[in-house]
Structure 1
Amino acid sequence: MLQDMASVAARFSARDTLDGRIDEAFALMQAMGFDGLIYDYTPSTAGLDGRIGIPTLLKLRNVAGDMHDYWCDREYFRIDPVQRLATQTSVPFFWSYDPGVETRISRLLTDETKPVCDFLHAHDMLSGVTVPVHRPQGDYATVTGVRYGARRDFMAEALHRLAEFGLLAQIFHEAADELFDEPVRNGSGVRLTKRERECLRYSSHGLSAKEVSRIIDRSVPTVVMHLNSAARKLGAKNRTEAVARAAHYHLLDEPPSYKS
């Protein structure tokens, strides 16, 4: 079905909204035997506290709508065995919450993860395939196809389609990523001005306020003002922490252009 990858990519490109491209992905996944789609994007694998980050984007198709509340607001995402495994691997994997089926998440099922198991059992979301998509900048996404009910024969079927599903997920994520807005991309809710970003970016390269002032042709007090403003917005105690927080939220991704 997915032999012509160019045509699959074209199908995504023909949809000019993020939700439209997600709908397209879901249609392709249904043709592969999946009943539901879960798509999430997290700006960083770990948050500033070192725990698994909460996604800034969670999109569902034919999945219980209250999952968004539980996974994001109640932070089930942090204890989700599938997500814990996804942060550790870039290889697509099959998972199951059927007690009679051994999968890679089985060793991660503990008393801590019981709320997740209870939710999924209550909604009959017992098995599926997840594709982790890790990016060089540290952000990552997972594309999950869900199968309802405890069907033992689905494991063999899903494993047979693992490579095909993985490729579809990669193509889909590239198409979805093009349409992310800034709040989804950085996850901080912070909006820095162009000058604040510029001053922080140069500071991240070890330049002093005086050196930055020469590069951007502004006074030292002006540079300090921009750095302090950025630190306040980021909730940082000092310039070093502000740079670290800005880097964590991908606010410094544009490479600096030094003047000769």
Structure 2
Amino acid sequence: MLQGGYQSVLEARSRDEFRSEVIRFAQSLEFQTVSAITVVDHTLAQSEFITIDNCPVGYSDVMHAPEFGRRDPVMQHCKRNSMPIVWDRQTYAQHGASDIWESQAQFGYSTGICLALHLPEGRHFVLGVDRDRPLPSDKVELTRMVADLQLFAVHAVDTALRVLLPEQKSADSPRLTPRELECLNWTMEGKTAWEVGAILSITERTAVLHINNAMHKLGCTNKHQAVLKALRLGLIR
């Protein structure tokens, strides 16, 4: 189910399809609600927020107030970090924000996991899942849950930018060199930079340079995102 969710979100072609895939994946992890927020920073204006969610009626009116956003420890964590945060009532109590937790708990937001991907050109992608019961007490199970959410976010971010910000998509695909494409192809096969270098008869450092160049041209922050975007654009197969 999870593997199918990764591929399905990549193939979403509209806002509604993307929303359905995000909700389906969250529910497969046994979370009732989910929010996927695409943020675009503008130099001379306020940041733009595009949100996909399945929040209950009334929740947005209560929880999207500016005074809550500035104090919410989960959102403040995601503004500054790429590491996921696993939160519960204690998280809010430790930051003097128990009133925020009380307000959201009445809508079923008692525990959850949230993470942010910070991209080039002032773009960000925040993904959070929530539920009304405790998270798994088994550390292995919880770690797997967090890892699944992280992997899904890496797949979902490119689709979010594509279907939610179509005006920002370039009409032309990035121009990657043959060597950069070769390195991405072997990275897709699971090869390390050292292995790619050995296969192509180049140094590990040169392989890393080609991969980093490809990441930069594709506007990605890691090699996994670069491979996924290159696949979607038809640059590699």
Task: Place the TM-score, normalised by the shorter chain, in its bin.
Answer: 0.5 to 0.7
Tell me: CA distance 1:30–1:177, structure 2 relative to 1, closer, same or farther (3 Å). same
More helix by share: 2
**Contact (CA 8 Å) 1:54, 1:78: kept in 2 or not?**
no
Mapping 1:222-237, distance limit 5 Å: none
Provide the C-alpha distance between the structure 2 equivalents of 1:133 and 1:36, rounded to a whole number of angstroms: 20
1:173–1:120: structure 2 CA closer, same or farther, 3 Å change rule?
Answer: same
- Correspondence 1:128 to 2:119: no
Q: Does 1:84 align with 2:81?
A: no
User: 1:153 and 2:146 equivalent?
Assistant: no
CA-to-partner distance for each residue in 1:185-204, whole Å, 9 max, x for gaps?
A: 7xxxxxxxxxxxxxxxxxxx
Q: CA deviation at 1:138?
A: 2.2
Task: Give the counterpart letter for 2:85 in structure 1.
Answer: F
Q: Residue 65 of structure 1 aligns with which residue? A: 57
CA spacing shift, 1:57–1:65, aligned 2, 3 Å: farther
| Counterparts of 2:117 and 2:19, CA distance in 1 | 16
Structure 1 unaligned residues grouped into runs of 5+: 186-260
Distance in structure 2 (CA, Å) of the matches to 1:155 and 1:35? 20
Aligned residues of 2:23 and 2:34 also touching (Cα < 8 A):
yes
Is 2:162 the partner of 1:169?
Answer: no
Give the whole-Å Cα distance in 2 for the aligned partners of 1:55 and 1:67.
20
- Deviation (angstroms), 1:88: 1.5
Q: Taking structure 1 as reference, are residues 72 and 155 closer, same or farther at Cα in structure 2, changes over 3 Å only?
A: farther
Other structure's SS at 1:26 match:
helix
Task: Tell whether 2:24 aligns with 1:27.
Answer: yes
Q: Which amino acid aligns with 1:153?
A: P
Aligned pair partner of 2:125 in 127, 141, 164: 141
User: What's the CA shift string for 1:34-65, capped at 9, x where partnerless?
Assistant: 11111212223x9979xxx765212222x223
Q: Is the 8 A contact 1:93 1:162 kept in 2?
A: no
Residue 152 and residue 121 in structure 1: after superposition, are their counterparts in 2 closer, same or farther (change >3 A)? same
Q: TM-score, normalised by structure 1?
A: 0.54
What one-letter code is carried by the residue in structure 2 that aligns with 1:18? Answer: R
- Structure 1 residue 9, shift from structure 2 partner: 4.7
**In the alignment, which residue of structure 1 is the partner of 2:36?**
39
After superposing the two structures, state which structure 1 stretch, 121-130 or 12-21, moved more: 12-21
Aligned length: 167
Structure 1 residues 180 and 137, CA gap change in structure 2 (3 angstroms):
same
- RMSD, matched Cα: 3.0
TM-score of the superposition, structure 2-length normalised?
0.59
SS in 1 for 2:17: helix
Aligned match of 2:49 in 41, 48, 56? 56
Q: 1:9 to 1:122 in 2, by over 3 A?
A: closer
Question: CA separation of 1:23/1:135 partners in 2, compared to 1, >3 Å: closer, same or farther?
Answer: same
Matched residues, percent identical? 16
- Residue in structure 1 matching 2:100, options 106, 116, 131: 116
Letter of the 1:90 counterpart: S
> How far is 1:87 from its partner?
1.0
Q: Report the residue type matching 1:43 in the other structure.
A: V
- The residue aligned with 1:15 is 12
Measured at CA, do residues 132 and 79 of structure 1 come closer, stay the same or move farther in structure 2, by a change above 3 Å? same
- Say which SS state the counterpart of residue 56 (structure 1) adopts: strand
User: Could you say which residue in structure 2 is the equivalent of 1:96?
Assistant: 88
> In the superposition, relative to structure 1, how do residues 54 and 124 fare at CA in structure 2: closer, same or farther (>3 Å)?
farther
